[in-house]
Amino acid sequence: MKVLLIAVALLTITSTGFSQKNKKDKRFENKQRINALIKQEEEGVIAYEKSVVVGGKLINDGYGVFFELGRARSVKQGWLFQLELSERKHVKEEKVAYNFSTPFIF
């Protein structure tokens, strides 16, 4: 029984030692992956096929939101879909309230 317990303990300790990578190996693998992506980009291979951008903007006379969706078919072909919704205040707009009523823009 003791021999079996010692064998299981040694097996557990040695297997966990082999399964973990040190920081140097992880850095080297990450650097090689980045170098491969840079090489592909220099050769003209597309690094991504889809892109999505969502955002908002705030300007001094209004605000807006935008959405952009892009797809790449090849290095020279692709399509881009953009949608923007904005509201801007006209220079002559003025908020008016008469006799404690709900204010409205005149």
Please choose, from the candidates 61, 106, 66, 65, the residue with its C-alpha nearest in 3D space to the C-alpha of residue 88: 61
pTM of the model: 0.47
Q: How far is CA 28 from the centre of its chain?
A: 24
pLDDT, averaged in runs of 10, over the chain (106 residues): 77 64 84 88 74 93 94 83 92 81 76
